[in-house]
């Protein structure tokens, strides 16, 4: 089937966007076809596929689904929703400020924040293990929401957990360049303590206003940037008053601004989103 797409990226986290908003839109490709679309050698190549559709809730103007490069579906994507916002504003002609976009993990509101920049109300971080979900009984709980978890290879890690509409584990490290992302990332992602698998963030705190972060994304591997990962890292540290309410998070692909006043308040993320090219492909 001939399929039209738009390639977009946000801090190097790249996406193939499929527009299924119209009444005559073709059906969603099967998971194997989506994985082929994401293949960097035999398809277009991307970290995730974003599929726009009419919303299934009256709380939003637009809906979208998110599929990893392996074809698995996830609940939310911080960088992806900024790309969706720009597409809706500039290709569909929808109103700019306050547009509500529904993903399986929840509804976000998007606002223009300057040329090519999008500010997103990501909702309230959920830090309770059951909301991630994280089977806390599998780990030794420590102070301020920290958990000691023994992995399959015997390594013991200390981590915080957070849901931003998708699950995150956050590990602190002293030097981000030396973080064992490729080794510990897949071990933590697939640990039985995370029944839905988990995204794994390795965060270095420079001071109370600046963080550095690398993320191993479930179903993808390490990416250049992860928006919800930046939100989760800030929330885990902010919950124990280790950072200020406004933090710049540096990722390999660039910088995001994360704002969170604290409990019972929404968390805000600001950053860029860019068009790359349009095309068609046979799936």
**Residues with catalytic function:** 77, 226
Q: What is the spatial distance between Cα 179 and Cα 136, in angstroms, rounded to a whole number?
A: 24
Tell me the β-bridge partners of 280. Answer: 4
What sign has the CA pseudo-torsion 247, 162, 52, 49? positive
Contact 225, 79 (CB under 8 A): yes
Q: How far is CA 151 from CA 98, 116, 188, 190, in A?
A: 42, 41, 7, 10
Rg (CA), the chain: 18
Please identify which residue in the block is written with the tokens 């300057």.
114
Q: How many CB atoms lie within 10 A of CB 278?
A: 12
How would you class 73 by CB atoms within 10 Å of its CB: exposed for 0-12, middle for 13-18, buried for 19 or more?
middle
Helices (H) and strands (E) in the chain, counts: 4, 19
Note whether 257 and 103 are within 8 A (CB). no
Are 187 and 153 a contacting pair, CB within 8 Å? yes
* Closest C-alpha among 163, 152, 137 to residue 231: 163
Question: Is residue 172 within a helix (H) or strand (E), and if so which, with residue range?
Answer: strand 167-172
- Show the CA angle centred on residue 271, arms to residues 113 and 222, nearest 5°: 165
Hey, how many other C-beta atoms are within 10 angstroms of the C-beta on 124? Answer: 16
């Amino acid at each position: 089937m001939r399929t039209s797409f738009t390639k977009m990226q946000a801090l190097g986290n790249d996406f193939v966007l499929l527009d299924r908003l119209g009444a005559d839109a073709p059906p969603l490709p099967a998971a194997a076809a989506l994985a082929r679309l994401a293949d960097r050698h035999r398809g277009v190549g991307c970290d995730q596929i974003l599929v726009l559709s009419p919303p299934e809730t009256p709380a939003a103007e637009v809906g979208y689904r998110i599929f990893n490069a392996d074809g698995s579906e996830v609940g939310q994507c911080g960088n992806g929703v900024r790309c969706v916002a720009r597409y809706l504003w500039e290709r569909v002609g929808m109103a700019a400020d306050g547009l509500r976009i529904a993903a399986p993990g929840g509804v976000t509101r998007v606002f223009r924040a300057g040329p090519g920049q999008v500010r997103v109300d990501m909702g309230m971080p959920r830090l309770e293990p059951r909301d991630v979900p994280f089977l806390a009984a599998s780990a030794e709980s420590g102070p301020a929401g920290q958990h000691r978890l023994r992995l399959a290879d015997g390594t013991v890690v200390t981590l915080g957990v957070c849901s931003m509409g998708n699950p995150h584990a956050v590990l602190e490290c002293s030097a981000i360049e030396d973080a064992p992302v490729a080794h510990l990332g897949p071990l933590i992602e697939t640990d039985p303590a995370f029944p839905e698998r988990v995204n794994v963030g390795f965060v270095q705190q420079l001071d109370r206003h600046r963080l550095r972060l690398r993320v191993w994304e479930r179903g993808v591997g390490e990416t250049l940037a992860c928006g919800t990962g930046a939100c989760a890292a800030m929330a885990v540290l902010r919950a124990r008053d280790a950072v200020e309410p406004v933090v710049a998070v540096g990722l390999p692909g660039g910088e995001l601004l994360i704002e969170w006043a604290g409990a019972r308040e929404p968390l805000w993320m600001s950053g860029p989103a860019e068009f790359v090219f349009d095309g068609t492909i046979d799936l």
